[in-house]
Structure 1
Amino acid sequence: MNGVHDLGGTDGLGPVPVPESEPVYHAEWEKAAFAMFSMAFRAGFFGVDSFRSGIEQMHPAAYLLSPYYEHWAHAVELHGVSKGMLDEAEIDKRMKYYLANPDAPLPERDDPDLLAFVDGVVKAGAPAGRPSDKIAKFAVGDRVTVVDDSPHGHTRKARYVRGKTGVVELAHGTMIYPDSAGNGGGDAPEHVYTVKFTNEELWGPE
């Protein structure tokens, strides 16, 4: 899917300001949004690729005008409602309640196992490797060209590499194929490679 989320190689956006001491979180609710990702992942709301796909389904204006962790909250709500694990009316009801009562205490839950899981996912991530008997099409040193197309659904193929030619530097074995898993399909493992492109190949002689 081509959209505002794929900014790689886009020009005309100006410099990216880098504050000297930017906080990890800019508001308390961002901590909750971060925690919701791991908990929703464990509950079966989504995999990593369908989570990203959910973010990409935001309205372009909403995506550009909202902070980073609002994208995460959107994906959690979208997938939770679509899976029947969250109720949209209940979400709206609670949101209105806390807007009217900002100092009201949040519900508490003591779940050491869930806390340990979240801590593990945050520190180590989730493994993407999957076994497959597929034979690798490429080897280290091969010259390869990225297919130049415009997928309609989720893809990890950034626009700025499409149609570009590079050299395979590393072969990583078979892993989850995001273009399948992120679009409601299975893991569909594919061989994954690190490909080296020259600056001139990607950006031109200038």
Structure 2
Amino acid sequence: MTRVHDMGGRFGDGPINPEPEDAAVFAEDWHGRALAVTLAAGFLGQWNIDVSRHARERLSPKDYAQFSYYEKWISGLADLLVEKGVLSLDDLRGVAVEHTHPLAARVLKADAVASALAKGGPADRLSNTAAQFKPGQTVRTLRPTANRLVDGGHTRLPIYATGATGRILRLHGSHVLPDSNAHGLGEAPEPLYAVVFQASELWAEPEHPADEVVLDLWQSYLEPA
């Protein structure tokens, strides 16, 4: 099952207008705050990055189409805070009774932000799953695009690459599988590859047919071509 966020190369969505390279990092002050509170909430340890991504793509199609980028972020965060029991709807409305929150000790303090962000969140892991493909090998993505573990669940295989034939560029090692990690099923690490596709393989009428698109795809998304 695909969702409204999976719209790459779709007709009718209008042109892409990249911002100039000298544009400010945040177009509005609240954008920076939205990013900051989302990252800070993540440090409470109640979800992982794949759960967070899935929360944003689960927004209603109407809201997703109308919201700006950071409106999607803050709306997905609000949903997660309530779903995971971190806050209640009354908390978000500002009418809850004041009390010491059970997660208060895990709050990311200002003086710890730089070191916490410097550590990052590496997703590479050891895995018992052997790499099936080698650089230069031709592969095909599975059809249809879907999470094979959870019906309608999160996946990083975009719909525009469904059934497309590409070439393994490199093996990144083994990484956490989002399809599992987003649904509390464990990290299930498996080999992750950079796969090269011709634009003409992905879209019927690409503006530049000779362009190449490189996608990072997990082994369970691929089959020999």
TM-score by length of 1: 0.82
CA RMSD of aligned residues (A): 2.3
Preserved CA contact (<8 Å) 1:30 1:69? yes
> Shift of residue 179 of structure 1?
0.9
> Shift of residue 138 of structure 1?
1.1
Q: Distance in 2 between matches of 1:162 and 1:197?
A: 12
Higher relative contact order (CA 8 A, sep 6+): 1
Preserved CA contact (<8 Å) 2:145 2:157? no
2:162 equivalent to 1:162: yes
Residues 13-55 of structure 1 deviation map (CA, whole Å, 9 limit, x = unaligned): 2222345464322333222210012212211132111111000
2:124 equivalent to 1:129: yes
> Shift of residue 116 of structure 1?
2.7
Q: Which secondary structure state, in structure 1, belongs to the residue aligned with residue 39 of structure 2?
A: helix
Preserved CA contact (<8 Å) 1:139 1:171? yes
Aligned-partner residue type, residue 49 of structure 1: D
Higher strand share: 2
Q: Distance in 2 between matches of 1:15 and 1:24?
A: 22
Q: Distance in 1 between matches of 2:61 and 2:108?
A: 38
> Shift of residue 58 of structure 1?
0.6
Aligned-partner residue type, residue 116 of structure 1: A
Aligned-partner residue type, residue 138 of structure 1: F
Match of 2:194 in 1: 194
Matches within 5 A, 1:1-206: 1-20=1-20, 22-93=23-94, 111-120=109-118, 125-151=120-146, 152-204=152-204
Aligned-partner residue type, residue 189 of structure 1: P
Q: Distance in 2 between matches of 1:144 and 1:25?
A: 39
Alignment: residue pair count = 190
Q: Which runs of 5+ in 2 are unaligned?
A: 96-106, 147-151, 207-225
Q: Which runs of 5+ in 1 are unaligned?
A: 95-108
Preserved CA contact (<8 Å) 1:35 1:118? no
> Shift of residue 11 of structure 1?
1.9
Preserved CA contact (<8 Å) 1:39 1:118? no
Q: Which secondary structure state, in structure 1, belongs to the residue aligned with residue 43 of structure 2?
A: helix
Q: Distance in 1 between matches of 2:167 and 2:114?
A: 41
Higher helix share: 1
Q: Distance in 2 between matches of 1:113 and 1:131?
A: 32
Task: Give the percent of matched residue pairs that are identical in Structure 1 and Structure 2.
Answer: 33
Compared with structure 1, are the counterparts of its residues 202 and 91 closer, same or farther at alpha carbon in structure 2 (3 Å cutoff)? same
Q: Distance in 2 between matches of 1:41 and 1:176?
A: 17
Q: Which secondary structure state, in structure 2, belongs to the residue aligned with residue 43 of structure 1?
A: coil
Runs of 4+ aligned residues of structure 1 deviating over 3 Å after TM superposition are 18-23
